Amino acid sequence: MSTDHDHIQELLAGHALRALSGEDAAEAARALDEHVPACEDCRRTLAAFDETAADLALATPPVAPPDLLLARLHRDMAPRRAARSWHPGRVMAVAASVVLVVGVTGLALTRGGGPGSAQLAAADLNAAIAAAEAPDAETRTVGETTEVTVPDGFYLYGEDVPAPPPGQVYRLWLWSDGEPYYVGEFLPDDGTVAVRVLVDGEFDDVVVTVEDATTEPAAPGAPAWQSPAPTAA
């Protein structure tokens, strides 16, 4: 095995344990994109390390989750509602809508003395629309959605928003001083997006990307939508 392979497979070991950061994480991502798919040896090593890492979970005794957890899952797995249409002139006739949010994590923006913190949560569509129709509302377009500023952050909402490809999710990032900060991820509910982002701090722009749901949001992928172009990182 060449030195390059040694180095790449060393990265794959750290990757399997989710223990890479900074340049190592970036280098591993490049190797996974460019080298590994074409290298049978590295593909085998990656699969073996992934499997071994998963086996490590067995070193911890299993613990029965609370019964309520499955009930909570069943509730959140409820069938999607029938599609609706929304017209700005008939806002009050629109039923409350809440976007289905996957993996809302309540992220911290505070990265090495970053600008603050932010959280993403499902929101009521009517509340977002009402905020947008206030006399002094500040709104701007973010791709398929509208951003409405409120005192503690902003709403992002839209209708007829296309679903991302299977296995992918929308991820919302805030841009501050040329740096991206991950906030959370979401999926449209019958084409409707209505999320509320609570922000404690300053930011410049909103960027929404489409990314693989199983990958770590280490760095933003290509923007799907964005408010006025973010400052380059």
Strands 223-226 and 153-158, sheet pairing? unpaired
Q: Pick the stretch among 62-70, 83-91, 125-133, 151-159 that binds other proteins (CB under 8 A).
A: 62-70
Residues 132-191 that bind other proteins (CB under 8 A): 166-169, 187
Residues 22-41 that bind other proteins (CB under 8 A): 22, 24
Does residue 121 interact with other proteins by CB under 8 A?
A: no
Does residue 71 interact with other proteins by CB under 8 A?
A: no
Backbone angles phi, psi at 188, to 5 degrees: -65, 150
Cβ-contact 90, 129 below 8 angstroms: no
Cβ-contact 13, 49 below 8 angstroms: yes
Strand partners, 223: 209
Residue 69 or 134 having the CB closest to other proteins:
69
Q: Pick the stretch among 45-53, 138-146, 170-178, 221-229 that binds other proteins (CB under 8 A).
A: 45-53
Q: What is the rounded end-to-end Cα distance, in angstroms, of the chain?
A: 37
Exactly one of 1, 84, 88, 106 binds other proteins (CB under 8 A); that residue is 106
Does residue 85 interact with other proteins by CB under 8 A?
A: no
- The type of residue at 88 is P
Q: Pick the stretch among 74-82, 129-137, 143-151, 192-200 that binds other proteins (CB under 8 A).
A: 74-82
CA–CA separation, 223 vs 203, rounded Å? 17
Q: Pick the stretch among 82-90, 138-146, 150-158, 206-214 that binds other proteins (CB under 8 A).
A: 206-214
The contact set with other proteins (CB under 8 A) reads 9-10, 13-14, 16-22, 24, 47-66, 69-70, 72-74, 76-77, 100, 102-103, 105-108, 166-169, 187, 212-214, 216-217
